[in-house]
Structure 1
Amino acid sequence: MRHPRAVRLTALAAALAAGPVVMTAVPAAAVTGPASAASDTTHAYAAQIVVGDHDRGCSGVLVDTEWLLTAASCFADNPAASLAVPAGKPQKKTTATIGRSDLSGTAGAVRTVVELVPRADRDVVLARLNRPVAGVTPIALAATAPTAGEELTLAGYGRSKTEWAPLNLHTGTFSVDASDATTATVTGKDGVAACMGDTGGPLVRTVNGTAQLAALASRSYQAGCFGIDAAETRTSGVATRVDDLASWVASKAGANRVTDFNCDGVEDIAVADPAATVGGDAKAGVVRVVYGGGKGTAELNQDLDWVPGGAEASDNFGQAIATVDYDEDGCTDLVVGTPGEKLGEAEDAGMADVLHGAPGGIGTGVTKNTHFQQASGNGSLSASTPETGDLLGQALVAGTTAAGEPFVVIGTPGEGLDGAAKAGEAFYVRGGTNVSVHQDKLNVPGAVEANDGFGAVLAADANHIAIGAPNENIGGDDAAGNLAVFSHKLNSENRPTPLFGLDQDLDTVSGGAEAGDRFGASLALAPYRPSGAAAATESILAVGSPGEALAVNDVQKAETGTVLTFRVTASGTYTQLYGISSGTADDDVSGTSEAGDHFGTTVTAVNTAPRAVSTAATMRLAVGVPDEAVGTATKSGAVHVFSLVGAPGANDKWIESGDGDGIPGAPGANQRLGSSLHFTGTQLYVGMPDGPSAYGALYALPMSNVTLGQPIAPVTAYQPGQGGLPASGDRFGHAAR
C-alpha cells in the first residue's frame, strides 16, 4: 500500500505543554504497544534520551558500549526545516538511560551524552556517552535493508495510548511497506503506532533468535497516541535505514579519541614551551593551543587570572603536559605540570593543574581549573608537605580506565622519604581517590633510597600504570634504573595494585643492570587485544634504556641505547617480547648503533584500532634517537618507528630531517630530532624544540609517513611566527598533546 508522505515531526514536549500544536508537524515519539516489565531485558539496548530540562524526549539504541544511535532530529534546532546538527558537544545537556525497561527502577545505567557525530544524508546521529555501559550488550547492525512485508519490532520511551510520559519502555510490531536508499516506510500492526518520544528508537529484526538493528524511528502519523485527534487513523510512518552504516559506526566507535579542547569534534593541539619568557621572567613557561578548523590560537601561562600561581623565572610551566576529559563533559582538559613553582619558602616544590576545556576554548567555562599541590585539597596531597626540590609535576600522565573513569598521575621525583633525599613518589588521582604511591607502600617493588627519582617517568593506558625510577641503584650500580607496573584496581590501602617490578638484573629481562643504563628513562603503554580475546584488556609496555652499552660487531658502544618491550596480561603477568636497537649495519634494522646515540631517550606508543584484534600494523612504537649524528651533523637526531608486536626489522621506518618523510630542512648539529614524540591514532607529533627555528617547531606526520611502503602525505607544521602563533618562545615543541 502506498502511503502519503508523513510530515517530519519535532518531538517537542515543552511546546505541546505550551498550547495547541499541529501534531503532524512535530516528531515521532512512545510506541502505543504493550509496556515492558521492569524485569524484561529483551530490549535492554534501548535508551531513553532527554535533551535539556526535558525540552525534548527521544529514544535511542546502544550500538557500542560507549555509543548510541538515535535520530538527528532529536538535536536539530528546527527539524521541520533542517536536520543539520553540529558535530561535537550537544548544545544542551543530554541524558541517556540505557537498559532500564522501568524508568523508576535502578537497572542499567544513566549516562551523559558528550559528543554528537551526525550523518549528512539521513536522520541519524551517533551519540557518545561519558562512560561505557557495563552489563548491557550492544545490538549489532543488520547487514541487509528492510524488505517489503517483513516485520520489525520498535522499542521506545515515548507516549503510549493513555500516558503522556510513561515510565515503561513500550514495544510494537511494524510491517515494512517499501525501502529506498536511506529510508523505509512502515505501518504499525494491530493499531500500534510510533508516538512523540519514540523518535530514534530501534526497529529490530530477529534472525534465528538474534536481534539486529535495521532502522530507527523517524516520522509518524501517531494514530492512537495520547493527545492525538481521534480522527487520525494512520499508523504509518517513515524509518531511517541503518543497515548500511556498520562500517561508519565502527570507524567512529573504534577510533582513538582526539584532543578537542573546544568540543566541536575537530582535533586541537597543545604545544608546551616550558622555557618561554613571560612578562620578563625567563623560563616561566607557556603552553600554546591551536584550535582545529581554523578557530584560532591561545596562550596559557600563569599570568592569566584563572591559572594558579604567577609567572616567575624558572617555574617551567608546561614541563609536562597530558590530556583527559577530567570532568566528563565532552571537552578535553589539559593537565599542566609546573615543577619549578615556589610554594612558601620551598623552591622547586612544584604543582599541577587541570585547565578545563569548554565550547569557547580552554578556560572559558564555568569550571576553569582543578589545582593540585601538596598541603592542599584532600587525600595524600593534603597530608603531604611541599619541600624544596620536590618537583611535583615534573612528569604527568592522564587517561581513563577501562570503565571510563578519568585519572591523573603526577610525578614528584624529588620527594624525600624517610630521610632519603630525592627518593621520589607519585600521586594517583581518580574520582574521590587521591593517594601517594612510592617504594615504601604495600607490595611496591624496590625500596625507598636516596636519588632513586621514583616518579620521574610515567606511562599509563586504560589497563595499567608504569612508574619509572631511572636513577635507581641496582646491585650497587647507580642509575641502572627500574620501574614498577600497577593496575588501576585499588588494593587494601586504596592505592593502585602493584603487579611487578622490572630491572635488568632479572632473569626475565634481557641485558644486565649497569651504572648509567637509566632503564626506565622513557616509558610507553598501549592497550593490546590478542587473538581470541573479547577486548583489549592487556597492554604492551615499551621501556627505554638510553644509557645502555651494546656490543656492535664485537665493539662496545657506550650509551648507544636500547628499548625493551613487554606484554602485560590482564592478570598482571609479563613476558618480554623484543629488545630493539639500531643494531649493526648488516642487520635488517635501519641505522647502526653508535656510542652516544641515546636510542630510547623518548618512546611513544599507540594502538590505532583499540577495539579490534591487535596486529603488527595497528600497534605502533616510535623511538627517539636525539643524539644520532647524521653525516657530519652531530646530535642532529632521528626517529625510528617500529611495530610493537612485530619483529623489529620487519617494517621499521627511519626518519631524519630532510629525508622526505615530513621533517623539513637539512640535518643540523644539535637539533636533537626525537627529543619530543607523541602518537595519536592518526599521526605522530615530532617536536623540534632545539631547532632549526630559533623558537622551536612541531610537525604532525600522518601515519602513512611513518609506515614503511606507504605514500607520503602532507605534513602539518606548527611554528611560532606562523599560523597565528606569536613569534616568541624558546623551546616550542618540548611536548605536544
Structure 2
Amino acid sequence: MQRAMTLRSSVLVAALTAGSIVLAATPASSVAGGTAAGTAHAYTAEITVGDHDRGCSGTLVDAEWLLTAASCFAEDPAAGTAVPAGVPRQRTTAVIGRADLTGTQGAERRIVELVPRTDRDVVLARLNRPVTAVTPIALATTAPTAGEELAFAGYGRTQDEWAPLKLHTGTYTVDSADGTTAAVTGKDGAAACAGDSGGPVVRSSGGTATLAALVSRSFQGGCFGTDETVTATGGVAARVDDLTSWVESQTGKARITDFNGDGVEDIAIGDPKATVGGHVAAGLVRIVHGGGKGTAEINQDLDWVPGGAEDGDWFGESLATVDYNEDGYTDLVVGIPAEDVGSEGNAGFVDVLYGGSGGLGTGTQKYTHLEQGVGSGAIAGSASEAGDRMGHSVAAGTTAAGEPWLLIGVPGEALGAVKAAGMAFYVRGGTSVSLHQDKPGVPGGVEADDAFGSSVTGDAHHLAVGVPGEAIGTNKESGAVALFGHTLDAQGMPTVVGGLDQDTESVSGAAEPGDEFGASVAMADYRVSGASQDRASVLVIGSPGEDLTVDGSDRVDAGRAILVRIDASGTWTYLRSLNSGTNDDDVTGTAETGDRFAETVAVVNTAPRQVGSTGTMRIAVGAPGEAIGTVAGAGAVTTFSPFGAAGAADRWLEAGDGDGIPVSPGTGHHLGRSLHFTSTHLYVGMPYGPSAHGALYALPISNVTAGGVIAPVTAYEPGTGGLPANGARFGWAAR
C-alpha cells in the first residue's frame, strides 16, 4: 500500500533551544542540495519566537517591516495560521542582513506588532526601529507561472543540522498557482525545511530581484529530522505579488495609542482635579480600551504607581504617549507638576507608566520615575525646588532612527537667583540633558518669569519649547519659541535650530505685552513634494493673549496662531497667521474679546509616508473663551489645513452645531480646553461641562474636514460607557 505524504508547515517542527544552537555550530552547507547564501539575499531575516521556542525566517519589505509567515506566530500551525493583530504573544526578535549569524553585520530588532492577512499564510511584522543598513526588497507585480524558476532562502534546518548559523538558498520550480498560493518543487533535491517559513521566494529578472512569494509549507524531504522515506521536495508558497497596495497601506499608517497591544486604538483621559481616596484634586487618569475591552483608572494610590494620592497633586495634568521601552505596548507619560517633593511644594515630577497585555501596569516593567535629584544625567544633577512644576508640559516620540525621547517642561525652575526663568529636560538613551536660556546658542536671555518650558512639542526631527513669559524689549509676557533638532551637539544637547518671536522680521504682527506667544505649540513631521522622506516639520504656535483689531475695534485677548515650516536643513520659514475671521474675510467666526483663540493647538499627519496635503494634514485651534451667542465662555474649535489660505479649508466646531458634539453651548464650559489629534479622530476636551465632571468628545476626521461627511461622535463622560460617575475636570488632557 502506498504511504500517504503529508504537506507540513515548515515552522511546525522549527523548535529551538539554546542548547541546540550551541551544538549546531558547524556552518550550514546545504538544504537537501541547497547552498549557503553568502552575501546575497541580505533582506532575509532570522526570526526567534520566545526563549528560542520557535524559529522561522522573514523578508524585509520596508525599513520598519518584515513580511513573514503567519504560521510562525500561530498557536498551532497545523490547526490554522490565524494570529491576532497587535503585539506578538511572546517576545520575538529578528536579525536582518546577517548571512552568518556568528557575525555582526546587519541589524538586530524586536518585532513589536503583527498585521495578519486572513486569506493566506502571511503577516506583516513591525520592527521596533527602522533598519537602515539593509535595502528592502520590492514586491513582484505578476503571479508565479508554471515552469518558472524562483530562488528561496531561509535560516531553517539543513540536511544535517538542526539549527544552522548560516543563511541558505535553493531553487524552486513553479508547478501551478492559484489566487493566493503557488505549488512548487525544489530543484536538484532542494527543499524548504523547518524554520524556513516566511523566507523570501524571489524572482530575478534583468539583475533585479523582486519578492514573488514566501515559503509556507513543505514535504521537507531530505531535511534533518524528517523520516528517511520522505523524499518529496514539493511545497506551497504564499503569494505576495498582489499585496503591494495592502503592504503600503499598512506600513504607511500613523501609529496608534495601544496600551494593551491588541491593535485597537485606546485613549487616556486626564482628570487632574478628581478626588482619590478622599484627597481633593489628587488627580487620576482614566483609560478607555478600544474594541469594548473596558476601562481602567490610574492614580497614585495604586501600588505600582510612584507616590501617593494627596490633596492638590493634580496627577495627569499633562499627558503624552510613546512606546518608551520598545516592546510594542504604548506607554503613558504622566506629568504631576503640583506634586510636593519632600517639603518643596509644587516641585513636580513625571512618570512613564508601561503598557502590557492587560493594559497599563500589567507587564513586568511597571514604570520609570523621573524626579530631580534622582536617576542620571541632568535630572539627577538638579534639585527639586518649590514651584519648579516639573511636568507642567510633556511631549514624547521617536527620532527618525526610531529612538524614544521625552521632553519635559519645568517652567518654574530658577536659574541661579533668577526665579521662574524655566527650563526643559530632554530625555533619551537612558540619560537627560537640560535646555534653558543660559545654554550656548539657545535664543533669549535668562529673565525672571520667562517660564521657558511652559509648552513643549516635537516630532521625529525637531523640537520646540514655548517661552510665553519672555519679554521682548520692554514688552513683558510677549513670548517666544526656541527650536531644536534631535542631532546632539558636542555637549550632548539637541542642536539649536533657532528661535522666533513676533518681532522676528519674517513673522507677521509685532511683540506686545501679554501676547503669550508660545503658550501652546504643536508639531508634526511630513514629506514635502519632491522629497523621498518625511524630514520637514509643521509647527503651530499659539498666542492666546494677542489683541486684534477688527473693523476698527480692539479685541483684547482675541488670540491667534502662526504656522512655521522647519526643513531638514534646520531652516525655518514663516507660513501664515491663523485667527478667527472678520466680517470681510472667508475665515469662519469673528475675533472677539476674551476668545483666547489658540490657547490650545494640535496638528496631525494622517498619512506620514505621503506628500503632505490638505487631505492628509489638519490643524485644530481651540478658543475656550469663545462666546456662542449670549453664552459666555462656551468655547469653540476651528480646524485648518497647513496648506493654502487660512479660510480655504477651515471648519468651525461648537457644541450643538451639528458636527457631532451632542450638547448645547453652556456658560463656562470652555469647549476646546484640550485638543488631541490621532490619525482617525480629533479629541476635544470640555472639562467644565456639560456636568460638573467634564467630558471629552472624539470627532472622526471627516467631521473636522471642510466638506467632510458628518459621522457619529463618541462621547466620553463620567457616568456613561462604563466610566464611574465622578470627577471634576475630566477631559483636561487626552492622549
Fold conserved between structures, TM > 0.5: yes
1:474 to 472, 475, 496: 472
Aligned to 1:26: none
Q: CA RMSD in A?
A: 1.8
Is the CA contact (8 Å cut-off) linking 1:31 and 1:170 kept in structure 2?
Answer: no
State which of 368, 371, 375 in structure 2 corresponds to 1:370: 368
Question: C-alpha distance in 1, partners of 2:685/2:18?
Answer: 57
Aligned 8 A contact 2:543 2:559 in 1:
yes
Aligned ranges for residues 85-104 of structure 1 at < 5 Å? 85-104=83-102
Shift of 1:440: 0.5
CA contact 1:11–1:57 (8 Å) conserved in 2: no
1:541 matched residue in structure 2: 539
Deviations 1:565-596 (A, max 9, x none): 01101111111111111121221211111222
- Structure 2 residue 584 is matched with structure 1 residue 586: yes
- Cα deviation code 1:311-354 (max 9, x no counterpart): 11111100101111111111111110111111111110001101
Question: 2:358 matched to 1:360?
Answer: yes
How far did residue 382 of structure 1 move?
A: 1.1
Give the corresponding residue for 1:712. Answer: 710
Q: Matches of 2:673 and 2:556 in 1, distance apart?
A: 19
1:5-404 matches, cutoff 5 A? 6-14=7-15, 32-37=33-38, 40=39, 42-404=40-402
How much does 1:227 deviate?
A: 3.2
Counterpart for residue 528 of structure 1:
526
Equivalent position amino acid for 1:460 in 2 = G
2: CA distance, partners of 1:695 / 1:31: 69
Cα distance in structure 2, aligned partners of 1:33 and 1:614: 47
* Percent identity (aligned): 62
Q: What is the one-letter code of the residue matched to 2:684? A: V
* Amino acid aligned to 1:609: A
Q: 1:477 to 1:678 in 2, by over 3 A?
A: same
What do residues 53-90 of structure 1 show as CA deviations (whole Å, max 9, x unaligned)?
Answer: 22111000111111111001111111111212122111
Q: Are the counterparts in 2 of residues 401 and 461 from structure 1 also a CA contact under 8 Å?
A: yes
Once structures 1 and 2 are overlaid, which stretch shifts more, 436-445 or 219-228? 219-228
Kept after mapping to 1: 8 A contact 2:10/2:193: no
Distance 1:647 1:31 in 2: 66
User: Hey, what's the Cα distance between the residues in 2 that align with 1:199 and 1:611?
Assistant: 29
Equivalent position of 1:570 in the other structure: 568
1:382-531 aligned at under 5 Å gives the runs: 382-531=380-529
**Residue 695 (1) aligns with residue 693 (2):** yes
SS in structure 2 of the partner of residue 548 of structure 1: coil
Q: Is the 8 A contact 1:11 1:199 kept in 2?
A: no
Q: C-alpha distance in 2, partners of 1:717/1:551?
A: 37
2:129 and 2:341 map into 1 onto residues whose CA distance is 36
Question: Which stretch of the first structure deviates more once superposed, 140-149 or 329-338?
Answer: 140-149
Q: Structure 1 residues 15 and 543 mapped into 2: Cα distance closer, same or farther (>3 Å)? A: closer
Give the 3-state SS of the residue equivalent to 2:449 in structure 1: coil
SS at structure 1 position matched to 2:259: coil
CA distance in 1, matches of 2:71, 2:188: 27
Over residues 16-52 of structure 1, what are the superposed CA-to-partner deviations in whole Å (9 max), with x where a residue is unaligned? Answer: 9999xxxxxxxxx968521022xx1x31111010111
Gap change, CA 1:556 and 1:81, over 3 Å in 2: same
3-state DSSP of counterpart to 2:15: helix
**Deviation of the 1:9 alpha carbon:** 4.1
CA contact (8 A) 1:31 1:157 kept: no
Counterparts of 1:674 and 1:400, CA distance in 2: 27
SS at match of 1:177: strand
Equivalents in 2 of 1:151, 1:714: separation in Å? 52
Pairing 1:598–2:559 present: no
Deviation by residue 1:552-574 (Cα, 9 ceiling, x = unmatched): 23333222111110110111111
Residue 109 of structure 1 deviates from its aligned partner by: 0.4
Q: 1:341-395 CA deviation, whole Å, 9 max, x = no partner?
A: 1111111000110111111221122211110111111111111111110000111
Which residue number corresponds to residue 25 of structure 2? none
Structure-2 separation of matches of 1:264 and 1:245: 23
Provide the C-alpha distance between the structure 2 equivalents of 1:284 and 1:137, rounded to a whole number of angstroms. 51
Q: How far apart in 1 are the matches of 2:19 and 2:326?
A: 33
The answer on whether the counterparts of 1:9 and 1:80 sit within 8 Å (CA) in structure 2 is no
Task: Provide, for residues 453-506 of structure 1, a one-character-per-residue CA deviation record: whole Å limited to 9, x for no partner.
Answer: 000100111111100110110111011000101011111111111110010111
CA positional deviation for 1:551 = 2.3
SS in 1 for 2:645: coil
TM-score by length of 2: 0.96
SS at match of 2:204: strand
Q: What does residue 629 of structure 1 align with? A: 627
TM superposition score normalised by structure 1: 0.96
2:550 is matched with which residue: 549, 552, 571? 552
The 1:231–1:533 alpha-carbon spacing in structure 2 relative to 1, beyond 3 Å, is same
The answer to whether the 8 A contact 1:523-1:541 is kept is yes
Contact residue 9 and residue 79 of structure 1 kept, 8 A: no
Task: Name the SS of the counterpart of 1:614 in structure 2.
Answer: coil
Structure 1: any 5+ residue segments left out of the alignment? Answer: 20-28
Deviation at 1:432, TM superposition (A): 2.5
3-state DSSP of counterpart to 2:538: strand
When residues 534 and 31 of structure 1 are mapped into structure 2, their CA distance, relative to the original with a 3 A threshold, is farther
In the alignment, the residues of structure 1 paired with residue 605 and residue 623 of structure 2 have an alpha-carbon distance, to the nearest angstrom, of 22
The DSSP-based 3-state class of the residue aligned with 2:83 is: coil
Which residue is 1:22 aligned to? none
Amino acid at match of 1:137: T
Deviates more, 1:84-93 or 1:161-170: 161-170
Q: Is the 8 A contact 2:261 2:328 kept in 1?
A: yes
Query: 2: distance between equivalents of 1:694 and 1:331?
Result: 33
Deviations 1:210-232 (A, max 9, x none): 22211111001122323333432
Determine the C-alpha separation between the residues in 1 that align with 2:556 and 2:668: 19
- How far, CA to CA, are the matches of 2:15 and 2:663 in structure 1? 61
**What secondary structure does 1:248 align onto?**
helix
The separation in 1 between residues aligned to 2:633 and 2:249, in whole angstroms, is: 40
Q: What is the rounded CA distance, in whole Å, between the counterparts of 1:453 and 1:603 in structure 2?
A: 19
2:534 & 2:343 partners in 1: Cα distance? 47
1:636 counterpart SS class: coil
